[in-house]
Chains A and B, each alone.
Chain A
Amino acid sequence: MLTLRSACQLTTKNLGLHKCISKTVISALGRRGYHSENYETSKISGKKALILENALEHVPQLGFTEDAIVQGGQALGYSNLSKALFPSGPMDLISYFFLKQRYALSSLKPHLTTIPETSGRVVQLIWSRLQGNRDIVQHLPQMIAICTYPSNLRKSLSSLAELSDEILYLAQDKSADFQWYTKRAAISAIYSASELFMSRDTSPNFEATYNFVQHRIQHAKALNDLRNDVLEWGSFQLNAVRSILRSRGI
């Protein structure tokens, strides 16, 4: 049971999400690329990735800290290189964690084909992504705090936009119009809120977080249905106006 203070804090952070959403949409206008089935556009490669990969092994104990990166480097024979190689420090480690978790979602493809509804697939994808946080759940508040530093905000919002794009792509969402933007903004908001919720969730196997995700997705789906109804109403009105104009001899 959340205390009143915790609930207020969660509410406050949720309110902050609305400001972030517009930035998420704007950042989505930034660097994008053509996704090819024949060409790989991966960013994971080289020695830096190996160091960060090893650093992730230490995150459950040390959190997203410089120490974790130093430990990761030492396992490969490096020492005291983290400052030069990773100027953003913990944020580089967090970005790598985000990237790795996002790529891991692809392994869900076979399972997703058994779920008929797009919204059901989205729930499973978000839940799967949240499962990736299980080992580090005690460090989630720290991770979220680092992501919201002004100097890190652009990077973290970009990661969030990429995650929502990945989720909707894997869920085989068919929107190619402006709903492309509104749906990605909605997924970003839902994932952020769910991650915040998870950082305070003490229920067994994060049951409450799963229910939270489901309710949020169902709510978003209801809003989308409302949008379609409004557009249909608008179309009727337009035809009515034309009929009136015709009856007046135009």
Chain B
Amino acid sequence: MLSRRQLIPIATKSVSPFLRSSITCRRISMGRKELSEKDSNILDSVIRVDQAGELGANQIYKGQHFILQFTDPKVAPTIQHMWDQEKYHLATFDNYVLKNRVRPTFLRPFWDIAGFALGAGTALLGTKAAMACTEAVETVIGGHYNDQLRETAHLENKAPEFKEIRSHLAEFRDDELEHLNTAVEGWNAKEAPAHALLTNAIQMGCKAAIWMCKRF
């Protein structure tokens, strides 16, 4: 019975130094094009910040649902639906993080808590305040996705994987804008108390979060 260790292949020493050098260099540079460092950095930050954004959205809806399922049962299914969509968005970006070996944001524990607190806090203020929060967040996120689509436009035809990423960005942007419409037209978000103050503060917070997650 061979132990598992013995199954590990041991590099052969019989290959001559020159032949091995040639094989090493040739194998590694088999005519593939180099992705430029600038493009690599763009895609790295796009995936990291979007994963963080979808995490934040998840936690906000989780906090809202945590409160509203009891204080306003009529709106809970709508929150649940939007939350389910965000779960799919997050799973998609988690997959991109793993597949493309992108570093996820270092600030994730903070967004976990901040997102939930924001969702639960606005929900405690009432359904309209929760919807104003959704309106503010989705306004910023929708615009952010548009910015990213413009930023990656030149990559569209380079490889199928970039087309796939960009189609997800477009799809998710449309979902976020749908959430925005639901909040404003379906649930009177603009009638929330101190609507302007609330939405402006949340939008500034979201923009700061985006800035940080691009870098950290």
Contact = CB atoms under 8 A, between A and B. Distances in A.
Chain B interface size, as a band, is: 35 or more
Interface in B24-70: 24-25, 28-30, 32-35, 37, 39-44, 47, 51, 55, 66, 70
B103 A34 contact: no
A96 to B, nearest CB: 11
Contacts of B8: 108, 111, 124, 127-128, 131
Contacts of A29: 103, 106, 216
Given A40-B32, A49-B25, A34 B44 contact: yes
Contacts of A140: none
A19 interface: no
Contact of A54 (B17, B42, B47, B103): B17
B101 A35 contact: yes
A28 B109 contact: no
B98 A131 contact: no
B20 interface: yes
Interface string A212-250: 000000000000000000000000000000100010000
A246 B216 contact: no
Chain A interface size, as a band, is: 35 or more
Contacts of B30: 40
B91 to A, nearest CB: 9
A53 B24 contact: yes
A165 B208 CA distance: 29
B28 A41 contact: no
B11 interface: yes
A54 B35 CA distance: 29
25 contacts: A29-B103, A32-B103, A34-B44, A35-B100, A36-B35, A36-B40, A38-B159, A39-B32, A39-B159, A40-B28, A40-B30, A44-B24, A45-B25, A50-B25, A53-B21, A100-B24, A111-B7, A124-B8, A127-B8, A176-B104, A177-B55, A178-B108, A178-B109, A180-B103, A246-B70
Given A28-B103, A39-B159, A124-B4, 8 more contacts: A32-B102, A35-B102, A38-B33, A40-B29, A40-B32, A54-B21, A111-B7, A131-B10
Interface of A: 28-29, 32-42, 44-45, 49-50, 53-54, 57, 75, 100, 103-104, 107-108, 111, 124, 127-128, 131-132, 165, 169, 174, 176-178, 180-181, 205, 210, 242, 246
